[in-house]
Amino acid sequence: MEQIIEFPDVLELVEKRELPREIYAPDGTLLFLPYEPAIESPLIANRKKWRLFANYSLTDDYEVVRINTTGQLIRIKEDPDIDEMMGYVRKEHPGATVEEVISFALESTVEQTGEFKDDDEFGAYALTLYLMLAYLIHYGVLILVKD
Amino acid sequence: MDVYTIINDLLDYAYWGALIFSIAAIFAGILGVALGNQRLRKFLISGILAIIIWAAIPTLASNLLKTQAPSSVEFFVIALGAFAFIYGVYNFAAGNYSKAAWLAVAGIIVVGVFSLPFFNTSYNTSYQVTVTASVNPQIGFAPLTTTLTINAPGVNSATYCINWGDGSTSTISGGSSVTVSHTYNNAGGYGVIITVKSGNSTGETFVAVNVLSPPNIPWPFNAIVEGIESGLLGIANFLNAPFDFFWTVPQFPTSGQLWNLYEIILSVSFGAFGLFVVLNVFSNAVSDEDVGAALVKGFKEVVLVALAMLVVPYLYNIIASFLDQVVDALIPFANPGALLLGAVTIIGAGFGAGYFVPELADLGAALSIALLIATALSIIRMIVIYAGILLSPVFLVFSLFPATKGISRVALELTMGFILAGPFSAAIFAVLSIMAGQWGLAGNLGLEVASPFLLQVIPDLLGFGAAKGLMGGFGITAPKVRQNSSTGQGSSENQKVTTVPGSIGRTSSSADTQQSQVVTVPVRGHEVKLNQQYGPMGIIGRVRNRGTGTVTREDIAGDDLERKPYVPRGYKITGEKDEVAGLVHRREWQIKETRLHALGSGLKENYKAAAKELGKSLSVRFDALMEKYTGVKPIEAIRREVGDMKLRRANKTHKKTR
């Protein structure tokens, strides 16, 4: 039986204070620095330039996806935001910029749950999405292409 | 010109200036609603709230000036002012000048303005007289003779000047209580202004009298009708009292069974609170975060919650008495009994004559339901307010835990909303009564049926809006993202974010512009060409310019051409044309998009464009945020909002979209 890697629940990591200090892409590119000012995270700083492509295939189990390049299985629990971002890159717009992917997830959130109450909530939500995206790249689900 | 005159003049200017600003805020709010401008829209509630407070200022000021506060209130005011001052100094030292300035102003207002009347006892005895007045009956048919009773406790001899509101005035002398009668000959609403002078002290109060037009009924029926009328008017006066539930902000008792229950809840909550403190200290000690910073942060929350747990009922009672002053200032304009009388009459008539006049029964039933809903809502309001204060220690402890923070916020919003609904209800009722008086029976009926919404639902909603706004304003629901002081307020603050509805149904320059696309669809044996418009555009234009196309089929013998051709979904055949070239028979069908399909497709395109616009606007907002809050760290920002985010994510519909 193939080993399945568990994709983490990002908010749980935040709450349990288990978030690492740095998140890297499989090729060693630094993506995210949770404990530093947001703008210092390369994924945020290059949000308008870096593009994303899907690197996964669906399996019979909806929660388990196979990484195309390595064949590794990853269990990603159903999550509206993660699913939307993955689906957007795979089906709607392969090669979308990081910003487009985040905007798509934010737009869907606003559409379904109403306006954010203030900038703080909006900022926190957007940063959570960036964090999720960093993890998706880190686990190889999405491939980052730097222009 | 002495200093008091200058201060009085300045206060007068400020008073009228405040009215102008409040009206301007309301207009700006209305403009915001019309234009869909989020920022301007917020002014509406602020404006309405400001107007209510403005209207209540004279009564409030006079009441404050003649009130000698209990020592606990004095202590509270001093403590609040001192806290504001110390916290202001701390912020000044920390380089947060804007916050320090606000706190300094708050401290000055609290100590300087609010405490002045409390401590200035000479002001009380020298210049102010407490006056109360009541009229009986308050409503009746013209000519109405009513008796006015004035009380001025603590006054030995005084001159009472009464302006009856109908052009006549009376001046009488008496002791601490006087009674005087007056007859109103014409129908209308009258405001009776009573001014009392005793030595160099003065006092003023106001009561309303509502005189109704007498029905023109011939003898001897008038006697019967008048008898019934007088009975009903008595009921109406009696029925004034229950309306208090709509707007009164009740005092929370500080003794008795309810208080005992509160003390039990408080002690249990303190137990949980203690547990939190111990766990928090322990958790901070073992966490990898900067221990010192974490302890200070935790300590701040703990101190605030502990303080709040101790003062909630007292603080609430102060707010309640303030809001009741506002209500008292507004209610003299209203005459609830008259309005309710109409309702009772119609309900009674519906029961009695409903069999013969079904419309009357319907109206009676509608009114019964309306009044029942209004009453039920007012009872719910009271229960929620009491429950909110009673359970406040529990909710405060809840606010310390991220998982239950949301519950605590909702409970606070709900309680505050219902508390603030009181003055809103009173204000609406004051306007409603004046309108009912002017519109006659039809106006009364309409207003009565709408009463649950006008007197409870709308005030409750306004209350919730105001509560949310106030909590946001005070930072209760909006923990501030730390701002890099070296950057200051960036210019991005004024950056305009495009709203979505603007793009719906219109051609948007930033969204994908409309385009006509020719699509060739390969279908076996057919050649289908479609010329359809894509992108956002006006729906009427889209339906007018429906897509067109052709379906072509060739056949050697021509027999196959009689078979029904393939027609794309949403299209219909509008004509056909045959061509024969040698042995090949060719038939071309003209097709046109159906109106329904064009409508659906247009809406879908516009929806897609609007979603794209929203996405773009959110990107702009994020850019602005990144410029403004350069110092914000993701971990801190997310941790602060984790409760709200979980709630929002739970509300998202999960579609399998991978």
ipTM of the complex: 0.90
Judge whether residue A56 has pLDDT over 90: yes
Encoded amino acid at A142, one letter: L
A51 Cα to chain B: minimum distance (Å): 16
CB contact under 8 A, B633 and A37: yes
Percent of the residues in chain B that have a pLDDT greater than 70, as a whole number: 67
pLDDT at B580: 83
What are the DSSP E strand ranges found in B454-570? 515-523, 526-534, 548-555
- What is d(CA B66, CA B123) in angstroms, rounded to the nearest whole number? 8
What is d(CA B16, CA B178) in angstroms, rounded to the nearest whole number? 35
Amino acid B481: pLDDT: 36
8 Å CB contact of A131 and B477: no
Highest mean pLDDT among B121-130, B140-149, B456-465: B140-149
Residue B219 clears pLDDT 70, i.e. is over it: no
Interface contact B634-A112, CB threshold 8 A = no
Mean pLDDT rounded to a whole number for chain B: 73
β-bridge mates for residue A66, sequence order? A57, A73
Of the partner residues A38, A87, A113, the one whose CB lies closest to the CB of residue B634: A38
Please check whether residue B200 is in contact with residue B126, taking contact to mean a CB–CB distance below 8 angstroms: yes
Alpha-carbon distance B278 to B286, whole Å? Answer: 13
pLDDT at residue number B627: 84
β pairing state of A142-145 and A73-75: unpaired
Q: How far is B653 from chain A (nearest CA, A)?
A: 7
**Between these two residues, B563 and B517, which has the higher pLDDT value?**
B563
Minimum-distance CB partner of B481 among A35, A117, A123: A123
Determine, for residues A78 and B654 on separate chains, whether the beta-carbon distance falls below 8 Å: yes
The per-residue pLDDT for B294 is 54
Asked whether residue B19 carries a pLDDT value surpassing 90, the answer given is no
Q: Give the A:B interface size as CB pairs under 8 Å.
A: 154
Of A135 and B130, more confident: A135
pLDDT digits (tens, 9 = 90+) for B435-494: 666 655 555 666 666 666 677 777 778 877 777 766 654 444 433 333 333 333 333 333
pLDDT beyond 60 at B241: no
User: A119 contacts in B (CB within 8 Å)?
Assistant: 481, 621, 625, 628-629
Those residues with Cβ within 8 angstroms of residue B410's Cβ, 6 or more apart along the chain or in another chain: none
Kindly report the pTM of this predicted structure.
0.38
**Cα(B37)–Cα(B39) distance, integer angstroms:** 6
pLDDT of residue B584: 81
Q: Residue type for B409, please?
A: R
A65/B638 CB distance under 8 A: no
Q: Do B478 and A121 touch (CB under 8 A)?
A: yes
Q: For the segment B540-572, what is each residue's pLDDT rounded down to a tens digit?
A: 778 888 889 888 888 777 677 777 888 888 888
**Cβ within 8 Å, pair A117-B614:** no
Q: Is B42 exposed, middle or buried (0-12, 13-18, 19+ CB in 10 A)?
A: middle
What is the mean pLDDT of the segment spanning B417-444?
A: 72
Q: Which residues of B touch A123 (CB under 8 A)?
A: 481, 622, 625, 629, 632, 637
Q: Using an 8 Å Cβ cutoff, are B172 and B160 in contact? A: yes
Taking CA–CA distances from A82, the nearest residue in chain B reads B658
Confidence of residue B162 (pLDDT cuts 50, 70, 90): very high
Q: Which of B100-114, B275-289, B370-384 has the lowest mean pLDDT?
A: B275-289
CB contact under 8 A, B477 and A117: yes
Give A105's pLDDT tier (boundaries 50, 70, 90). very high
* Higher-scoring residue by pLDDT: A11, B535: A11
Please check the confidence at residue B380 and state whether its pLDDT lies above 70: yes
Contact (Cβ atoms closer than 8 angstroms) between residue B160 and residue B178: yes
- How confident is the model at residue A138, as a pLDDT? 95
